[in-house]
Structure 1
Amino acid sequence: MKKVNIGGVPEHFNLAWYLTLKNGEYKDKNINLRWHDYHGGTGEMNKALRSGEIDMAVILTEGIIKDIIDGNPSKIVQTFVETPLNWGIHVANGSSFKTIEDIKGKKAAISRYGSGSHLMAYINAKHNNWNLDKDLNFEVIKNLDGAIRGLTEGKADYFMWEKFTTKPIVDNGVFRRIANLPTPWPCFVIAVRDEFIANHEDELKIILDIINKTTADFKSIPNIDKTIANRYEQELEDVQEWLSLTEWSQTILDKETVENVQEQLFDLNIIPEKVKYSELIHKI
């Protein structure tokens, strides 16, 4: 049985992986797929792909594109979530910050450099016509728990993370959300190490076929809203809203989208150059 290590954030987007694992669908095909939670998000998963700690990752589009250009020996094999990620911009509930203008030049909490929280701080700055050299400052906080401590203790001033994941923290009066910013592209892709693609493409195809069958019918799974609400400790109405906004994908990330992501990252000086589609994408 072939052992395959895959990483992802422990969030509702990835419940389909848990369900297929629970059902033993990979083992039925002689594949021992092992899921690893990465609380530190995309930056932590990029490091794990580079080291060979994992073979595959369900990862933010902009984060993996930047890291492949920076030398990560991996390729994107598929879009996983077609819709944008809705980033909430959060401050400590007791802070004096009320608007986006109030946090201009203040310190952003980021899980690590190269993470989604880091890159989206740049997207937010550009969106609001800030000076990228003067108006962006960062404090590395590793994960969501670190962000809670960082904002509460005043080590950082604001934090960007997926709106529905952080909503319970907002509801509990720890964070206050002052704005939302959706990504201008599909949010999650599946990335795989080049070495694994070269040696195990048959197993990779089986894994993608299994997960795609589940995501194609995900919203029609009986009581899926209640399952998500219970598992991720969210309010049922929030889950229902999230489901109405979210679409999974079973197809390759198209060339136009890849060019759009690269164009924006290049304009922000996040990547040093734009590369060919074939250097970022592998079609199974």
Structure 2
Amino acid sequence: MKKVNIGGVPEHFNLAWYLTLKNGEYKNEGINLRWKDYYGGTGAMCKALREGEIDIAVILTEGITKDIIAGNPSKIVQTFVETPLHWGIHVAHKSPYKSIEELKGTKAAISRYGSGSHLMAYINAQNNSWNLETDLNFEVIKNLDGAVEGLTAGKADYFLWEKYTTKPLVDNGTFRRIGNCPSPWPCFVIAVREDFIKHNKADLKTILNIINNTTAEFKAIPSIDKTIANRYEQQIEDVQEWLDMTEWSQKNIDKTTLINVQKQLFALNIIPEIVDYEALTYHLD
């Protein structure tokens, strides 16, 4: 049986992977797919791809685009979630800051440099016409638990993270959410190490077919809202709102979208150049 290592964030977006694994769908096709949760997010997964710790990552579009350009030997083989990610802008409950404008020049908590929380802090700054050199400061906190500790202790002032994942922390009074910052592109893609693609095309096709069949009908799964609410400790009404606004994809990211992602990252000096579409993607036959 072929062993394949895959990583992703432990969030509701990836429940379809859990369901297909639980049902033994990959093992039925001779594939031992091993899932690993990456609490450190995109930066941690980029590192894992580079080091061969995982073969496949379900990862933020902007983060993997930046890292492939920086030398990560991987390719985007498919969009996973078509809709934007809705990032909440959070402060500690007792923070004096009440608005996004007041955060100008303060310190953003980020999981690591090159992560989604890092890149989206730039997008938020651009949206609010801040000076990207003088109005942005960072504190590395590794993960969501680190953000709770960092904001509560005053090591950092604000933190961008997917707003439904952090909603329980808002509900229990750990954080206050003072704004939102949607990503201006499809949020999650599936990236695969080039070496794995080269030697395992058939297995990769099988894996993608299984997950795509599930995501295509994900919203029609009986009581899926209750399943998500229970598993991820969220309010049912929040889950229903999230399901209404989220669309999965079964196709590769299109050229226009990926050029737009690069243009924005280049304008923010996050990437040194805009590369060809083919340098970032691989289309399975």
Read off the aligned partner of 1:244 and give its amino acid letter: D
Q: How big is each residue's C-alpha offset from its partner over 1:162-186, in whole Å with a ceiling of 9 and x where there is no partner?
A: 0000000000001000000100000
Give the SS at the match of 1:3.
Answer: strand
**TM-score of the two chains, using structure 2 as the length reference:** 0.99
Q: How big is each residue's C-alpha offset from its partner over 1:76-114, in whole Å with a ceiling of 9 and x where there is no partner?
A: 000000000000000001011001111000000000000
After superposing on structure 2, the runs of 4+ consecutive aligned residues of structure 1 that deviate more than 3 Å are none
Give 1:273 deviation, angstroms.
0.5
Trace 1:89-238 onto structure 2 (pairs within 5 A).
89-238=89-238
Give the SS at the match of 2:251.
Answer: coil
> Equivalents in 1 of 2:203, 2:36: separation in Å?
18
> Equivalents in 1 of 2:240, 2:183: separation in Å?
21
Give the SS at the match of 1:121.
Answer: helix
The equivalent of 1:19 in structure 2 is: 19
Give the SS at the match of 1:108.
Answer: strand
The equivalent of 1:262 in structure 2 is: 262
Give 1:120 deviation, angstroms.
0.2
Instruction: Indicate yes or no: 2:59 matched with 1:59.
Output: yes
Give the SS at the match of 1:89.
Answer: strand
Give 1:37 deviation, angstroms.
0.1
> Equivalents in 2 of 1:99, 1:11: separation in Å?
27
> Equivalents in 2 of 1:113, 1:127: separation in Å?
20
> Equivalents in 2 of 1:216, 1:112: separation in Å?
33
Read off the aligned partner of 1:166 and give its amino acid letter: T
> Equivalents in 1 of 2:98, 2:113: separation in Å?
26
Read off the aligned partner of 2:124 and give its amino acid letter: N
> Equivalents in 2 of 1:230, 1:248: separation in Å?
21
Read off the aligned partner of 1:210 and give its amino acid letter: I
**TM-score of the two chains, using structure 1 as the length reference:** 1.00
Read off the aligned partner of 1:160 and give its amino acid letter: L
How many residue pairs end up in the alignment? 284
Q: Structure 2: 5+ residue runs without aligned partners?
A: none
Q: How big is each residue's C-alpha offset from its partner over 1:207-233, in whole Å with a ceiling of 9 and x where there is no partner?
A: 000000000000000000000000000
Read off the aligned partner of 2:99 and give its amino acid letter: T
Read off the aligned partner of 1:191 and give its amino acid letter: A
Give 1:269 deviation, angstroms.
0.2
